[in-house]
Copies of this chain bind each other. A is one copy, B any other.
Amino acid sequence: MTEAAPDIGRPPPVEPDRDGRVDYEFGVSHELVSEVRDCLDQGRISEAGGKIAGLHAADLADLIEQIGPDLRGPLIDLLRPSFDAEIFAYLSQSLREVVLDQLEPKELAAAVAELESDDAIDLIEDLDAHQQREILDNLPPETRAVVEEGLTFPEDSAGRLMSRDLVSVPQFWTVGKTLDYLRTEADALPEDFYDVFIVDSMRRVVGAVPVSRVMRQKRSVRLADILTEDIRTVQAITDQEEVAFLFRQYGLVSAPVVDSAGRLLGVITVDDVVDVIDEEAEDDLLKLSGVPDTDIYRAVLDTTRSRFSWLFVNLLTAILASGVISMFETTIQHIVALAVLMPIVASMGGNAGTQTLTVAVRALAMRELSEANAMRVVAKEALIGTINGALFAVIVGVVAGLWFEDRLIGIVIGIAMIVNLFIAGLCGTLIPLGLARLKIDPAVASTVFLTTVTDVVGFFAFLGLAALILM
């Protein structure tokens, strides 16, 4: 079915416009944002309505985010008559709250009732108890029961992630009976699904048949004869990171969620997992940089407060490093060149250590670094640090020696460089491994520990050697 010769042709319009801005192929364009902004700003409400008609909920969420605080209210008012609750799924946390505050509880409940159960739970779980109650009370009883039940599962568990809307049939059914069931019960079944789950009389999962396989079989074939038995099921209380690993590792599209007795509770589909994977990778990045979250729409004071604590910890470690320097005040007073050169040693150690740390934290998260190969990786990184340390010792030694016309000062900084880069490689792996052993997320605390070590060792090795050799 691939007869047509491919015609690669010219690229789609991802060219920058006159102002050098890149417009993307998909999603909300800058032009649309500024057009809608102009309309709202000038009170041309129905024109704005025309421009956003037919946009996907994800694009509407982007529009709400990018339109700016001043016009966010009018935009939400415009969307309000038939607010699509799916927008919440795509909004950043701080803007969710803004939008929630602007909607009446009844409007909100009407919107939430339209959501699939997993999206509804995702929205409600982050609200405070009072807001939760208000929405739950306004939901139709059936939806409320499902949502309330979902909330009984632990946060970030498969039970919160799963959808209740699935197709399950008894194992003794035939393909024909299944097709008839799907046709007659069409309204009660989810709109799209990828697997038909096969259950026994106790609702325990015995297997699954991909929809495409059901379709290809004759009506007389028994499901029991075509089902895949060896499917991977997820416990409802399994952590979502474990779920993400499962989907990624085996390229799954959906997986059944079961209770501890193996009974079918729901289904997790890959689109829910994509969000978890996104969050997970982002988490490492943020934690290593000491940023609590990347929500650029958060209020200034909230953001300031959230960043303060990391900076405060960093201040303590910087003061510690200063303490090390102050041990050598007399030496510095005699050879002021030391004050000029000492940040180089500390900075190189910090950077080399961060390289190693990033690799180690990521490898731990991807489960490539484990007890099985930990010592090999530590030794390797220490060796890499030492080799690069030796290379930079030569470069920096020559530069410093020529700069201050003193061969000995070149030798001192060279030795300090080797020591610090060796320590950087060693600690860049040992610190995250140690934290992981202690069940502390290595991404959270590693950077602080590491830079403390490389600063202290850097200053101490350089100034200490200088005091010994040069004085």
Q: Which of A343-371 contact B (CB under 8 A)?
A: 343-344, 346-348, 351-352, 354-355, 357-359, 362-363, 366-371
Stretch at the interface among A45-53, A54-62, A99-107: A54-62
B358 near A289 with CB under 8 A, answer: yes
CB contact between A278 and one of B25, B281, B304, B451 (< 8 Å): that residue? B281
B245 near A289 with CB under 8 A, answer: no
A229 to chain B, nearest CB (A): 12
In the assembled complex, 30 residue pairs joining A and B whose CB atoms fall closer than 8 Å, in A order, are: A2-B164, A4-B203, A6-B236, A8-B152, A10-B260, A20-B437, A25-B246, A27-B245, A27-B249, A27-B367, A30-B370, A58-B249, A62-B368, A183-B216, A192-B210, A192-B213, A214-B215, A253-B269, A281-B282, A285-B358, A291-B355, A294-B358, A296-B359, A300-B384, A311-B355, A314-B347, A318-B344, A318-B348, A332-B332, A347-B455
Among A6, A312, A337, find the residue whose CB has the most chain B CB atoms closer than 10 A.
Answer: A6
Question: In the docked arrangement, what's the CA distance between A284 and B285, Å?
Answer: 8
Q: Mark A239-267, 1 if CB is under 8 A from B, else 0.
A: 10010011111111100000111011110
A130 to chain B, nearest CB (A): 26
Question: In the docked arrangement, what's the CA distance between A19 and B282, Å?
Answer: 30
What are the residues of chain B within 8 A of A343 when measuring CB–CB?
Answer: 318, 321-322, 325, 342-343, 346, 455, 459
The 8 A-B pairs at the shortest CB distance, nearest first, are namely: A9-B260, A281-B281, A339-B339, A289-B358, A251-B271, A7-B259, A318-B344, A285-B285
What are the residues of chain B within 8 A of A395 when measuring CB–CB?
Answer: 312, 315
B355 near A290 with CB under 8 A, answer: yes
Question: In the docked arrangement, what's the CA distance between A192 and B259, Å?
Answer: 27
A138 at the interface (CB under 8 A from B): no
Given A8-B259, A242-B14, A274-B247, check contact A399 B314 (CB 8 Å).
no
Closest to A58 in B: B249
A186 at the interface (CB under 8 A from B): yes
Question: In the docked arrangement, what's the CA distance between A451 and B351, Å?
Answer: 11
Among A2, A304, A388, find the residue whose CB has the most chain B CB atoms closer than 10 A.
Answer: A2
A322 near B336 with CB under 8 A, answer: no
